[in-house]
A and B are shown apart, each in its own frame.
Chain A
């Protein structure tokens, strides 16, 4: 009896010992592996953070610091002067307001319209569906350049130049910047939801639109977040359409003002070079460089903040939307 017990105990101890050894060996290997893993991740991360670091560092430098070869990243004296100058050149608050109207307005409208359209495609079977679905993909693939001239004349004839209507109206109809892509994201998302909820709602007497609005739309929050963030960011950074439809500086959005500011800086650098010779142009250009970077920082700061707060949900919801399905 006792011997048996001892035997059992020793058996167990042998077993646990073996297990312990096994994990230890594994862990020993994985520590080296992990270190390498993190090294790769961190060095790649550096490449991705690099533009941001560059912008911040340059924008805080005074002209002397930029010219100083010993200073690479950290300026001797932090100066916010660049930001003051850049904000003035950018005409910051009006441009900011225009950017907000264009990007947030379009994004919200695109969420509403694209989710409605995506739902129709994902949950209904009707003749001609395959054709229209192909047209959605087609719309995504056609480069904006091909249709830009007629669109321009169309909006010109309607008198929509220098208004926000060329952004707002297509967004209402599920078009606009990458609208087709957003429709596809919603289609993909609605397809993977179970049919049971809808059927229950329909049996309880809810109409088609009510079922959509009360039951399905609230479930689509992850897809909505993804579409919202993408739409805001792409509209914010877009230069192509605003440059066509917003021609007066009062209607410029931030990206446009930034490009305009960059143009001014380029010209004045050239003039300085032309009037006083090449030697001073070398000294002149960097002083403008840091002002431009301050402008860049001011341009991206709003969406950077937005991303900072939504980043966690965003990456998670990309997974949950099942965007990756065919």
Chain B
């Protein structure tokens, strides 16, 4: 064997490992670490463009303070994004789980149905979703037309019915948003061995029981992945108002410092939400890992 550089086996292994990921590390500094640092620097300065490029004057936490005090648009936008996230993410998870169970059964045309359920990820994301929403095509006509409001009005009091129907309206968007999550759940369901179900059946478990005692604990890791994905997706979606607002502040009003500060506030908020998710899932994840 030729001996290169006089490295030990272990040393060579480490070097090879690093050479595979070196490209990513370089990119990490160029496109993540340095921009993140500079963005923080921007946020505590007042950036003004002059002939020699950007001129920074230190203003401390002024940008952050004005986001919470003088800016009347930012906080309501943040609040509405949070409420949409909190109401829609659980719905997405439940719906994705339900669909995955449906699509995992042995049925004819399974591939076609799976293809259909994933369709909105292909077409109704980004710019196209905006146009569809503008024309009101992001709501099913069952809820808006057809006089459903008046028909149900006889049975349910109006002040309960109205938010209920509004919620139902957003269901279409929820369903369109759950394509990736459905796929992840299906992939998870495939990994559960049929023997577990057989054993549960032998022990006299009903379908309902075997879902909660076998299926559910087995796909908790996927539930975790999906929760993370849904939250990140919600926060960075094309129709997210906060994203638009930050863009507008930074690039239309050329207020780079303030835009960067808003970006950081947004980031911290997302980090808090994700940390809470981590804490919630930590115990059940540890349990499922222990099982192997």
CB distance from A222 to the nearest CB of B (A): 11
Q: Is the interface of A mostly helix, strand, loop or mixed?
A: helix
Determine if A299 is an interface residue (Cβ-Cβ < 8 Å).
Answer: yes
- Do A120 and B20 touch (CB < 8 A)? yes
**Which partner residue on chain A sits nearest B120 by CB separation?**
A48
Asked if B89 is at the interface (CB within 8 A of a chain A CB), the reply is: no
Cβ-based interface call for B97 (8 A): no
> Which of B67-75, B154-162, B256-264 lies at the interface with chain A?
B256-264
Identify A324's interface contact among B16, B17, B38, B187, CB under 8 A: B187
In the complex, are the beta carbons of B13 and A315 less than 8 A apart?
no
Measured between C-beta atoms, what is the minimum distance from B165 to chain A in Å? 16
Instruction: Flag whether A193 is at the interface (Cβ < 8 A).
Output: no
In the complex, are the beta carbons of B126 and A153 less than 8 A apart? no
Q: Does A50 contact B (CB under 8 A)?
A: yes
**Among A41, A142, A179, A299, contact of B113 (Cβ-Cβ < 8 Å):** A41
- Known contacts A124-B13, A145-B266, A132 near B125 by CB under 8 Å: no
Q: Give chain B residues whose Cβ lies under 8 Å from the Cβ of A61.
A: none
Contacts of B289 in A (CB 8 A): 326
Do B28 and A143 touch across chains, with their CB atoms under 8 A apart? no
How many cross-chain pairs have Cβ atoms below 8 Å apart between A and B?
273
B111 at the binding interface (Cβ < 8 Å): yes
Q: In whole angstroms, what is the CA distance A170 to B28 when docked?
A: 9
Tell me whether A170 and B116 are in contact (CB under 8 A).
no
Q: Does B21 lie within 8 Å of A150, measured CB to CB?
A: no
Interface size on A, residues (CB 8 A): 93
In the complex, which range does the number of interface residues on chain B fall in? 35 or more
Are A326 and B35 neighbours in the complex by a CB distance under 8 Å? no
Q: Nearest Cβ in chain B — how far from A206, in angstroms? A: 12
- Complex contact B27–A318 (CB within 8 A): no
On whether the beta carbons of B123 and A149 are closer than 8 Å, the reply is no
Cα(A67)–Cα(B189), bound, Å? 48
Chain A residues 105 to 163 lying within 8 A of chain B, measured CB to CB, are 113, 116-117, 119-121, 123-127, 129, 132, 135-136, 138-154, 157
| With A146-B36, A148-B250: A175-B31 Cβ-Cβ less than 8 Å | yes
Could you write out 10 A-B pairs with CB less than 8 Å apart?
A45-B113, A48-B175, A48-B176, A117-B20, A126-B13, A149-B42, A149-B259, A262-B134, A315-B114, A326-B225
Residues in chain B within 8 A of chain A (CB atoms): 13-14, 16-21, 23-28, 30-32, 34-36, 38-39, 42, 53-54, 99, 102-103, 105, 107, 111, 113-128, 130-132, 134-135, 137-138, 140, 172, 175-176, 183-188, 190-191, 219, 221-222, 224-225, 228, 232, 235-236, 238, 242-243, 246-247, 250-251, 256, 259-260, 262-264, 266-267, 270-271, 274, 285, 289
Give the top 7 A-B pairs by smallest Cβ distance, nearest first.
Answer: A120-B20, A124-B17, A173-B27, A237-B126, A150-B38, A324-B187, A147-B35
